[in-house]
Amino acid sequence: MTKNPDINRLSSDDSKKRFIEESNRCVSCGLCLPHCPTYRLLQSEADSPRGRIAMINGVVTNRIPLNEKFIQHLDRCLTCRACESVCPNNVAYGRLVDEARSIIRASAAASRKSGQYPGKHQSRLFPALLTNWITQPARLERLRGLLYLLQKSGTIRLFRKFNVWKSSLAGKILMQLPPVVFPYAAPQKNRHFSPTWQSFYPATGKEKSKVGLFLGCIARLSDAETLNAAIFVLTRLGYSVCIPTEQTCCGALYQHAGEPEKAKQLMQRNMRAFSGLGVQAIITTASGCSVQLKEFSTDCITTDAYSAGPGMIQVIDISKFLMGMADWDTIMIKPLAKTIAVHDPCSLRHVLHDQIHPYRLLAHIPDAQVVLLADNDQCCGAAGTYFIEQPALADKLLDGKIKALDQSGAQLLVTSNVGCSMHIASRLRAMDSGIEVLHPVTLLARQMGMQ
């Protein structure tokens, strides 16, 4: 039988044993099947959670080879973790898939040396993009002005019209970027926006507490309006906002690409950045980042907080924080007579289980009619870099979301994850739809008076 030598990626007999024990906890009951987006699309057992777990177990125990077909079925997984929400045995599917991708990556590195790598040959551009830009916030910030000029001049609009770079990585990212927005500047600076984020935004009136705001990576460029809205709302509710310049990417892209060590390095940088600030909580506006920050500490042991000096700092989604901390009787919110559809990101619904809070937040807007989308437990297809790596499947999944949105009759769509927002909004722009996609806290900030 062909051996899989790169199973040594599991680093020790104990970790291999734990890995096998976790995969053996799947009893193949099939309750996950109707909830798995790829199984629903492809009707293939190998593209279902229980099928992938069986294959992973087979590779780790050397019963099946680590070959191209195995890699293909793992690549098709969105890691949406809808299966975890319905699993009676609480199998840690997301962890199993991440570890399997680490094994695949180790196998790729070893096989490329001999010229016999069985799987796909990934573009060198994406790893370079991760290393040189995504994890380098200062460089991303310097791109803001250039992208603003490209959009303002109509250059990117022409790219879209003539499908320039449509099949390239850079083109796909450019096509998804919404209008560039500059960081918010505190009112006492006598200007509304700033080239960079301030390190401290004081509370308006009496300070209740201090919180940290996690900016993320791409969100600095693609979701600055949401970050501005978060600062606006938090400061007006009495919370001073700290934004350490040393923070970086949450590491999720590395984690799900089979490079947990690099993800841990980013985690350590973020822990150091937020330590010693004296903040009550670290607020996130992207549920995907929130999952990564909450679940993975420096030793990859599940945790709900950062170890930051003498105490623990809670990581919390902004909608959940506001629902627990805001005094709504004192807040003036303008009415909005529109139908608002809510999209539940997989990370918010299946992992954090905090999907109810955006609905509760929007319920405070007078006259607003809030509706949920059909099949809201299904992934939109963005899934980190999935829309780039598996465009055909991502587009089919997005088709379902667009159909549900059309049937909802909504004028606005809100979602709590930047990747979902970019993916859905990009299609709506291509359709010349009048439906705006935004974060719930952005809509709330507008109704509170943010210009």
Render pLDDT for 104-136 as a digit per residue (tens, 0 to 9): 888 776 555 444 444 444 555 567 667 777 778
Q: What percentage of the chain exceeds 70 in pLDDT?
A: 82
Contact indicator for 275, 306 with CB cutoff of 8 Å: yes
pLDDT given for residue 117 in this prediction = 42
The band of 333, judged by pLDDT with boundaries at 50, 70 and 90, is very high
Q: How is the beta sheet containing 200-201 ordered, strand by strand?
A: 200-201, 239-242, 209-213, 281-284, 312-317, 305-307
Q: Closest Cα partner for 213 from 271, 269, 281, 278?
A: 281
Indicate the angle between helix axes 93-114 and 13-24, nearest 10 degrees: 130
Question: In sequence order, what DSSP letters do the residues of 20-51 get, joined into one string?
Answer: HHHHHT-----TTGGG-HHHHHH--GGGSHHH
Last residue of a domain, one of 325, 342, 367: 325
Contact indicator for 236, 448 with CB cutoff of 8 Å: yes
Residue that has been written with the tokens 């600030």 in this structure:
277
| Res. 187: pLDDT tops 70 | no
| Res. 74: pLDDT tops 60 | yes
Q: Name the domain count of the chain.
A: 3
For 131-152, write each residue's pLDDT tens digit.
777 778 778 777 777 777 777 7
Q: Closest Cα partner for 272 from 300, 306, 301?
A: 306
Contact indicator for 173, 147 with CB cutoff of 8 Å: no
The reply to whether 124 falls in a domain is no
Q: Closest Cα partner for 98 from 284, 292, 352?
A: 292
Last residue of a domain, one of 306, 325, 344: 325
Q: How is the beta sheet containing 412-415 ordered, strand by strand?
A: 369-372, 339-343, 412-415, 436-438
Clarify whether residues 65 and 151 are in a common domain: no
- Residue 442 tokens read as 């952005």
Clarify whether residues 55 and 78 are in a common domain: yes
| Res. 86: pLDDT tops 60 | yes
- Residue 90 tokens read as 């609480």
pLDDT given for residue 340 in this prediction = 98
The reply to whether 125 falls in a domain is no
**Long-range CB contacts (within 8 A, 24+) of 131-134:** 134/217, 134/218, 134/249, 134/253
- Which residue did the predictor score with more confidence, 8 or 404? 404
Last residue of a domain, one of 310, 325, 340: 325
Strands 239-242 and 312-317: unpaired
The reply to whether 337 falls in a domain is yes
Clarify whether residues 310 and 356 are in a common domain: no
The band of 390, judged by pLDDT with boundaries at 50, 70 and 90, is very high
For 1-45, write each residue's pLDDT tens digit.
445 655 555 555 667 888 899 999 999 999 999 999 999 999 999
The reply to whether 370 falls in a domain is yes
Cα–Cα separations (whole angstroms), residue 63 to 54, 58, 119, 308: 10, 5, 19, 44
Clarify whether residues 338 and 311 are in a common domain: no
- Residue 63 tokens read as 């019963």
For 273-329, write each residue's pLDDT tens digit.
999 899 999 999 999 999 999 887 434 433 344 444 434 688 999 999 999 887 788
For 199-218, write each residue's pLDDT tens digit.
999 999 899 999 999 999 88
List the beta bridge partners of residue 438: 414
The band of 85, judged by pLDDT with boundaries at 50, 70 and 90, is very high
Clarify whether residues 39 and 152 are in a common domain: no
pLDDT given for residue 382 in this prediction = 95
Q: Which range marks the domain in which residue 222 is found?
A: 131-325
The C-alpha atoms of residue 132 and residue 147 are separated, in whole angstroms, by 17
